[in-house]
């Protein structure tokens, strides 16, 4: 990477990290802590409150991604972070699950993922873009791992409201990074921005990636409707869940980092991509089989398998999407991509809560297995990617 690419990658990854730490601090304890509020005895309502963030994200990712093509990435990112901070403050105050859902919905309206990803794609060359996206993915994964350690401890001391208050502070920190650390954005993405949605929606491989990101995040969020309860049933109290989550996450990152970039350079990205989807399928089947008599050791192993697949796909999918998207319409393409990601997040929470209520936790793993198998079939037709060394070597001009 050039110095500019390193600075842009690190600063944009830190924006993701600050924002996602706030989100992830809530996820491991949300279902347990929300049950203490009025309305918290309804699993479907709790699932809706958890997942509605994804619905409002889905509604606004595409418009804000298109706006970033037209008016620039930085203004959209700053406005989105401000809205996210307001939603966090509302959720911190919420006296009932209904108000909590309103705060989560406002959080989701700060939909900046498309603008941040497009910004990163604007300032990196093709041959280093997966590495840049992986840096973002690694920062998100590390924040997730950190949240798994901190969330139960913080929830016991400051409660769910305090966690949302901390989320608002982290969002304000992200705004400071955008204003003073992120390098200036290139102007060329603002040219020829019209007609991008039609071109993006007609691209078959982009549509495959959009389906994939929907499935991946629906499965991820639905998993957290069940796994914490399984660990408790296996004899591990909530305060000790980090002892499973953290090692599984760290090991998965080491495996992903040790193989993904080397195989990509040799032109095996498609094979790695399909294998990662297969690992998600394998993990869901394992969870379904172990749900009746959960064991801490088996659950830890299955989480590690899931995280290897998940982290590999989190690094490779947005990189592929940014490469396939026309340069003038990157914000639009990544807006569509992140819309499907957010819809997956919403579906995982809302449908996952309904499945738990109606059919028990095992139904989530069966549904996730079916969805992921469908994704594997659709992804099989993806065109092979050229070895990274063969990519164009031009450096972005700023």
Q: Is residue 186 part of a domain?
A: no
Q: Do 372 and 215 form a contact (C-beta atoms < 8 A)?
A: yes
Q: Do 20 and 345 form a contact (C-beta atoms < 8 A)?
A: no
Q: What percentage of the chain has pLDDT greater than the value 70?
A: 91
Instruction: Give pLDDT, residue 90.
Output: 95
- As a whole number, mean pLDDT of residues 211-226 equals 87
Least confident of 37-41, 182-186, 211-215, 315-319: 315-319
pLDDT band at 188 (very low <50, low <70, confident <90, very high): low
Residue 54 and residue 109: Cα distance in Å, rounded?
A: 9
- As a whole number, mean pLDDT of residues 361-389 equals 79
Instruction: Give pLDDT, residue 203.
Output: 72
**Token digits of residue 10:** 């690190």
DSSP assignment of 278-327 equals HHHHHHHHHHHHHSSS--HHHHHHHHHHHHHHHHHHHHHHHHHHHHHS-G
DSSP assignment of 97-157 equals HHHHHHHHHHHHH---HHHHHHHHHHTS-HHHHHHHHHHHHHHHHHHHHHHHHHHHHHHHH
Instruction: Give pLDDT, residue 394.
Output: 36
Q: Taking the CB of residue 264, how many other CB atoms lie within 10 A of it?
A: 24
pLDDT for residue 235 is more than 80: yes
Q: What angle, 0 to 180 degrees and rounded to 10, lies between the N-to-C axes of helices 242-265 and 269-290? A: 160
DSSP assignment of 163-214 equals HHHHHHHHHHHHHHHHHHTSPPPPSGGGSS-TTHHHHHHT-HHHHHHHHHHH
Instruction: Give pLDDT, residue 162.
Output: 92
pLDDT band at 196 (very low <50, low <70, confident <90, very high): low
Q: Is residue 163 part of a domain?
A: yes
Q: Is residue 196 part of a domain?
A: no
Q: Is residue 130 part of a domain?
A: yes
Instruction: Give pLDDT, residue 199.
Output: 72
**Token digits of residue 374:** 């469908």
Q: Is residue 207 part of a domain?
A: yes
The CA dihedral of 94, 98, 102, 103, to the nearest 10 degrees, is 30
Q: Is residue 398 part of a domain?
A: no
Q: Is 398 helix (H, G, I), strand (E, B) or coil?
A: coil
Contacts with 236 (C-beta within 8 Å, 6 or more apart), sequence order? 243, 244, 296
pLDDT band at 391 (very low <50, low <70, confident <90, very high): very low
- As a whole number, mean pLDDT of residues 148-174 equals 88
Question: What is the CATH number for 243?
Answer: 1.20.1250.20
Residue 345 and residue 386: Cα distance in Å, rounded?
A: 31
pLDDT for residue 24 is more than 80: no
Q: Is residue 21 part of a domain?
A: yes
The secondary element (H helix, E strand) that includes residue 32 is helix 3-34
Residue 32 and residue 82: Cα distance in Å, rounded?
A: 28
Please state, rounded to an integer, the average pLDDT across all residues of the chain. Answer: 82
Output b/e per residue, 237-259; b: 16+ Cβ within 10 A. Answer: ebeebbebbeebbebbbebbbee
Q: Do 230 and 365 form a contact (C-beta atoms < 8 A)?
A: no
Instruction: Give pLDDT, residue 124.
Output: 83
Closest CA to 130 of 343, 398, 379, 311: 311
Domain range spanning residue 272? 3-179+202-386
Residue 88 and residue 133: Cα distance in Å, rounded?
A: 26
pLDDT digits 0-9 by tens, 170-182: 999 999 999 999 9
- As a whole number, mean pLDDT of residues 147-166 equals 86
pLDDT for residue 279 is more than 60: yes
pLDDT band at 194 (very low <50, low <70, confident <90, very high): low
Number of domain units in the chain:
1
Instruction: Give pLDDT, residue 261.
Output: 66
pLDDT band at 284 (very low <50, low <70, confident <90, very high): very high
pLDDT digits 0-9 by tens, 318-328: 778 877 777 77
pLDDT band at 389 (very low <50, low <70, confident <90, very high): very low
pLDDT for residue 395 is more than 60: no
Least confident of 83-87, 172-176, 240-244: 240-244
Least confident of 120-129, 183-192, 209-218, 299-308: 183-192
Q: Is residue 190 part of a domain?
A: no
Instruction: Give pLDDT, residue 175.
Output: 94
Alpha carbon 377 to chain centroid, angstroms: 22
Least confident of 43-52, 207-216, 291-300, 367-376: 43-52
């Amino acid at each position: 990477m050039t110095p500019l690419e390193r600075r842009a990658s690190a600063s944009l990854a830190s924006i993701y990290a600050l924002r996602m730490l706030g989100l992830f601090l809530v996820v491991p304890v949300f279902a347990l802590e929300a049950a203490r509020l009025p309305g918290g005895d309804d699993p479907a309502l709790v699932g809706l409150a958890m997942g509605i963030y994804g619905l409002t994200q889905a509604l606004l990712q595409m418009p804000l991604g298109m706006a970033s093509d037209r008016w620039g990435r930085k203004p959209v990112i700053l406005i989105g972070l401000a809205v996210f901070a307001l939603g966090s403050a509302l959720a911190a105050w919420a006296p009932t699950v209904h108000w909590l859902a309103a705060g989560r919905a406002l959080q989701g309206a700060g939909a900046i993922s498309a603008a941040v990803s497009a910004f990163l794609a604007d300032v990196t060359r093709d041959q280093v873009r997966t590495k840049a996206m992986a840096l973002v993915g690694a920062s998100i994964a590390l924040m997730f791992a950190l949240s798994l350690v901190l969330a139960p401890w913080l929830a016991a001391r400051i409660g769910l409201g305090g966690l949302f208050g901390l989320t608002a502070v982290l969002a304000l920190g992200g705004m400071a990074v955008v204003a003073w650390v992120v390098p200036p954005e290139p102007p060329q993405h603002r040219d020829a921005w019209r007609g991008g949605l039609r071109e993006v929606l007609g691209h078959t491989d982009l549509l495959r990636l959009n389906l994939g990101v929907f499935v991946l995040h629906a499965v991820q969020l639905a998993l957290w409707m069940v796994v914490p309860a399984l660990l408790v049933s296996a004899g591990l109290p909530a305060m000790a869940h980090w002892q499973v989550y953290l090692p599984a996450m760290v090991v998965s990152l080491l495996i992903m980092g040790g193989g993904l970039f080397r195989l990509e350079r040799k032109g095996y990205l498609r094979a790695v991509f399909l294998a990662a989807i297969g690992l998600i399928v394998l993990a869901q089947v394992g969870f379904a089989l172990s749900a009746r008599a959960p064991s801490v050791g088996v659950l830890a192993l299955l989480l590690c398998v899931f995280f290897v697949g998940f982290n590999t796909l989190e690094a490779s999918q947005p990189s592929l999407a940014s490469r396939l998207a026309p340069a003038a319409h990157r914000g639009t393409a990544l807006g569509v991509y992140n819309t499907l990601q957010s819809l997956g997040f919403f579906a995982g929470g809302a449908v996952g809560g309904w499945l738990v209520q109606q059919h028990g936790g095992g139904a989530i793993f069966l549904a996730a297995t079916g969805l992921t198998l469908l994704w594997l079939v659709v992804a099989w037709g993806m065109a092979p990617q050229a070895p990274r060394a063969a990519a164009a070597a031009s450096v972005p001009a700023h």
